[in-house]
Structure 1
Amino acid sequence: MSAPVAPPPAEQVQADVARALAEDLGSGDVTASLLPDTADSAYLLCKEPAVVCGRPWFDACHRALDPDVRIDWRVAEGDQVAAGTVLATLQGRSRALVSAERASLNFMQTLSGTATVTAAYVEAVRGTRTQILDTRKTLPGLRLAQKYAVRVGGGVNHRIGLYDTVMLKENHVRAAGSLTAAIRAARERYPALPLIVEVETLAQLREALGEGCDRILIDDFDAATRREAVAIAAGAPYGGRIPLEVSGGVDLAGLRAIAEDGVDCISIGGLTKHVRAIDLSLKLGPPPA
């Protein structure tokens, strides 16, 4: 189990859940209306190995339709579980249980999928200095939820949006006239915000190191150039003060080699972009003995 991770604010979870239930229920669950509205039980089953993530959204879906529902979790957020694990049992009104089923599972399977793949990337670099970062390549409307799932999986959040970090890339440098001009303009206008600079050559790397920033992104460097970049950043007069990030064309198979080159961070868009949902189901009745 990973260290506990604080979820997004309750109001954000409630807003996510309200949207999900509205699009699913519309004017009402016509099939659930055929059921007797009596007390019933259910259990949440995980059908494959996974890192559990999404409990706040699961709970909020069910409590939105039945405030008195009882949910007893058998696992903690961030636990790694085996196929066939019963994650939770529920006691509530039968109609509410089935009406909340799909929305609650959608959150759990998506966020558990993100946490599970993140944990695999984190494990691949274990023992190195490298952190695994996410990107802004998230599902529309679920950025805070997916970035939370990355943290549950042991990863680290990159910038949340376009407002909390200045990130200078090729187009910004071109518009400013030079990398130095772009860095100085960013520092002058947004002195309190973190500054990340993408470089395309070793000459630009030296320029960024000389001007100063909070992190340098060496995008699409080949292995030899990447190792040279690490040596430059760690050597005099820079002394390793500015972390180096790798992005672009990174997959799980090649991850360890990049980390062993000594980079500080590797950002992976696929953590949140290439979502493969974990296979979960919610079944009425008591769990199997």
Structure 2
Amino acid sequence: MKNLPYLTESNIRQFIEQALLEDVGPGDYSSLSSIPAQQQGQAQLLVKEDGILAGLVLAEKIFHQFDPTLKVEILKEDGTLVKAGDIGLTVKGAATSILTTERLVLNCMQRMSGIATKTHQLNNLISHTKAKLMDTRKTTPNFRMMEKWAVVLGGGLNHRYALYDMVMLKDNHIDFAGGIEKAIHSTTKYLKENKLKLKIEIETRNLEEVAEVLRVGGIDYIMLDNMDYATMREAVKMVGGRYPLEASGGITESTLKDVAECGVDFISVGALTHQVKSMDISLKAF
């Protein structure tokens, strides 16, 4: 967590607070009406399919934020490979508290584990290359923090977290600004005037645009957007290591390996967070 600036205790607490407000509201009347307040219980987090488990630390924080008296024992580590039948954690205490927090814990962990598992699988496909797998901003509103956390737990890298922590000049920015040179000059001027120390990445759609970026300079990363393999390989030669290169645009599991073998430094895959199947996990009383 300490290496991920967005994962502050304050941010996590705020997320849990809003999620509980959404799901619990004034009260979990199903549990409050059917279970005696003094009833104690215990439950275990059951993994029902193989994959990378993610969200255990978050689950513990959810339990404790709702009811500090709950006793949570984490039995696996976030980011580790688990098999169907494994137990991720146990929780003991007020039965009503366990029931009320169950769905929020599962919703978070199922999705985070699905993302971490997919990230791990795709990483294995390009482990023989220098390319690093990255996520994008194609995330679920109000759940980005957890989705990007899950990517890291699966062995991937976070791209920029949001619009404020890095400049990315994409095709529409360039077109509205009047071209690559104007976009870069305007950006560097704005950052200087506003005393902002942000990295700049610029998108290129063809070799002519790559050549123009190399001529103008003033950036930190070059994105190669929707280029075929031959064009990407030529762009890698043209840049010659002067700037890190990111491949992006419609990259799938079937094309990922070929893209990585073109020699790029990073590959961003939006599907890591917006086309993922959640892992099957349940919370069972015992």
Q: State the TM bucket, normalised to the shorter chain.
A: over 0.9
SS of the aligned residue for 1:252 comes to: coil
Partners in 1 of 2:99 and 2:229 — Cα distance? Answer: 52
Partners in 2 of 1:188 and 1:82 — Cα distance? Answer: 53
In structure 1, the residue matched to 2:200 is: 195
Matched, 1:205 2:183: no
CA RMSD of aligned residues (A): 1.6
Matched, 1:109 2:110: yes
Partners in 2 of 1:61 and 1:264 — Cα distance? Answer: 37
SS of the aligned residue for 1:140 comes to: coil
In structure 1, the residue matched to 2:35 is: 35
Matched, 1:68 2:69: yes
In structure 2, the residue matched to 1:162 is: 163
Partners in 1 of 2:178 and 2:22 — Cα distance? Answer: 47
Kindly provide the CA deviation profile for residues 207-265 of structure 1, in whole angstroms up to 9, marking residues without a partner as x: 1122221111111111111111111111xxxxx12011111111111111110110111
Given the two structures, how large is their TM-score scaled by the length of structure 2?
0.93
SS of the aligned residue for 1:89 comes to: strand
Residues 57 and 78, structure 2, Cα contact 8 Å, conserved in 1: no
What amino acid maps onto 2:109 in structure 1? Answer: M
Residues 51 and 81, structure 2, Cα contact 8 Å, conserved in 1: yes
Q: CA deviation at 1:127?
A: 2.0
In structure 1, the residue matched to 2:17 is: 18
Residues 13 and 56, structure 1, Cα contact 8 Å, conserved in 2: no
SS of the aligned residue for 2:128 comes to: coil
Partners in 2 of 1:60 and 1:67 — Cα distance? Answer: 9
SS of the aligned residue for 2:255 comes to: helix
SS of the aligned residue for 2:44 comes to: strand
Pairs within 5 Å for 1:21-100: 21-33=20-32, 34-36=34-36, 37-100=38-101
Q: CA deviation at 1:271?
A: 0.8
Matched, 1:227 2:233: yes
The percentage of counterpart residues that share the same residue type is 37
Kindly provide the CA deviation profile for residues 151-191 of structure 1, in whole angstroms up to 9, marking residues without a partner as x: 11111111111111111122222222221111111111114
What amino acid maps onto 2:122 in structure 1? Answer: Y
Q: CA deviation at 1:15?
A: 1.2
Structure 1 residues without counterparts, runs of 5 or longer: 235-239
Partners in 2 of 1:67 and 1:170 — Cα distance? Answer: 49
Pairs within 5 Å for 1:266-285: 266-285=267-286
Structure 1 residue ranges, 4+ long, deviating more than 3 angstroms after superposition: 3-7
Distance change (3 Å), C-alpha of 1:124 and 1:5: farther
Equivalent of 2:221 in 215, 221, 225: 215
Partners in 2 of 1:135 and 1:224 — Cα distance? Answer: 24
SS of the aligned residue for 1:266 comes to: strand
Matched, 1:152 2:153: yes
Partners in 2 of 1:266 and 1:148 — Cα distance? Answer: 18
What amino acid maps onto 1:193 in structure 2? Answer: L
- Which segment drifts farther, 255-264 or 206-215? 206-215
Residues 4 and 78, structure 1, Cα contact 8 Å, conserved in 2: no
Q: CA deviation at 1:119?
A: 1.0
Q: CA deviation at 1:4?
A: 9.2
Partners in 2 of 1:5 and 1:197 — Cα distance? Answer: 25
SS of the aligned residue for 1:115 comes to: helix
Residues 46 and 84, structure 1, Cα contact 8 Å, conserved in 2: yes
How many residues in Structure 1 have an aligned counterpart in Structure 2?
278
Given the two structures, how large is their TM-score scaled by the length of structure 1?
0.92
In structure 2, the residue matched to 1:237 is: none
Kindly provide the CA deviation profile for residues 5-63 of structure 1, in whole angstroms up to 9, marking residues without a partner as x: 65811111111111111111122111112113322111000101121111232112211
Partners in 2 of 1:173 and 1:5 — Cα distance? Answer: 32
Partners in 2 of 1:90 and 1:142 — Cα distance? Answer: 24
Q: CA deviation at 1:65?
A: 2.8
Partners in 2 of 1:24 and 1:174 — Cα distance? Answer: 43
Partners in 2 of 1:118 and 1:79 — Cα distance? Answer: 13
